[in-house]
Structure 1
Amino acid sequence: MRIAGLVGATGLGLGIASTWVSGAIAQGGLAAYQGAWLSGGADCAEVYASAGKGTSFKRPVDIFAPAFIVSGSRLRTPQASCRIKSVRPSGDRQLLVLGCANAVAGNEVRVLMAPQPDGSLKRYFNAQDTMGTAYKQCSR
């Protein structure tokens, strides 16, 4: 019985730590990423709709839209929902490690991004990518 109590207390502690880490990520390393983002020439109103407290993808969802929404420690695309596990510096960029799931599978995804001086974001395909893909902010 003593082992079961220890295991239960450890599980509770890990759950609290996980919640604290998620909150710290959302408040610290993810502050510049919060909101709805869109790449390319599409207008924000074509992809997003206001939904009470925040923004959501307009119905029917365009699964090919180069768009994502960051809310707290969650990142959603038109096709997947991800939990942001960590944010780490990687040179002049940040490496976001995501745990993503869609209708078919779940996997870990690594994304290189960098906030830009004009308020936009750039996503890089790998460390050698010098151009990146620009995303404009549609809502905060």
Structure 2
Amino acid sequence: MRIAEILTAAGLCLSLAASDAVAQGGLAGLQGAWLSGSEDCAEIFATGGKGPSFKKPVDIFAPAFIVAGNRLRTPQASCRIKAVKPDGDRQRLALDCANAVAGSQVGVLLSVQSDGSLRRYFNAHDTTGTQYKQCSR
């Protein structure tokens, strides 16, 4: 299975928070733990001295991710955020990801939401996307 399929299956449905830093290509508005769907943040994430982490045992299908610095982690993969570039009214993240069996470069298309949530789009024609709420910074 390709890493892009794993990320999709794991629910990596991202978007960018409405902040000047993110709009300018920075990562400040993405920092923290993010979750899609109706699950409670406490069911997926644990908090500790080094920031949020996935609760053990990790739910590999949880639609969740954690951004810390220039790293993005899903329940199944770890990615380095190589670039954040504007793409119309959205942002495009270039990720270099790896899991236990493969590595791949992945592109993620995101948008800014006025309520502070994030939204990921599967392609440029997707007008709905998937929303994520922030669980912690």
- TM-score tier, shorter chain, comes to 0.7 to 0.9
Q: With the length of structure 2 as denominator, give the TM-score of the two structures.
A: 0.81
| Deviation at residue 53 of structure 1 after TM alignment | 2.7
Match of 2:45 in 1: 48
Match of 2:29 in 1: 32
Confirm whether residue 137 of structure 1 aligns to residue 131 of structure 2.
no
| Deviation at residue 115 of structure 1 after TM alignment | 2.5
Match of 1:128 in 2: 125
CA RMSD between the two structures? 1.7
Unaligned runs of at least 5 residues, structure 2: 1-21
Confirm whether residue 63 of structure 1 aligns to residue 60 of structure 2.
yes
The answer to whether the Cα contact below 8 Å between 1:32 and 1:115 also exists between their aligned partners in 2 is no
Q: With the length of structure 1 as denominator, give the TM-score of the two structures.
A: 0.79
Which structure's relative contact order is higher, taking Cα pairs within 8 Å and 6+ residues apart?
2
Runs ≥4 residues deviating over 2 A: none
2:103 to 75, 83, 106: 106
Cα distance per residue 1:24-81 (max 9 Å; x no partner): x9x9521111110000010000000012130000000000000000111000000000
More helix by share: 1
Confirm whether residue 119 of structure 1 aligns to residue 116 of structure 2.
yes
Code of the residue aligned with 1:43 in structure 2: it is D
Say which SS state the counterpart of residue 60 (structure 1) adopts.
Answer: coil
Say which SS state the counterpart of residue 127 (structure 2) adopts.
Answer: coil
The answer to whether the Cα contact below 8 Å between 2:25 and 2:85 also exists between their aligned partners in 1 is no
Code of the residue aligned with 2:82 in structure 1: it is K
Confirm whether residue 83 of structure 1 aligns to residue 80 of structure 2.
yes
Cα distance per residue 1:86-116 (max 9 Å; x no partner): 0000011100000000001000000001221
Code of the residue aligned with 1:132 in structure 2: it is G
Unaligned runs of at least 5 residues, structure 1: 1-24
Say which SS state the counterpart of residue 50 (structure 1) adopts.
Answer: strand
- How many residue pairs match? The answer is 116
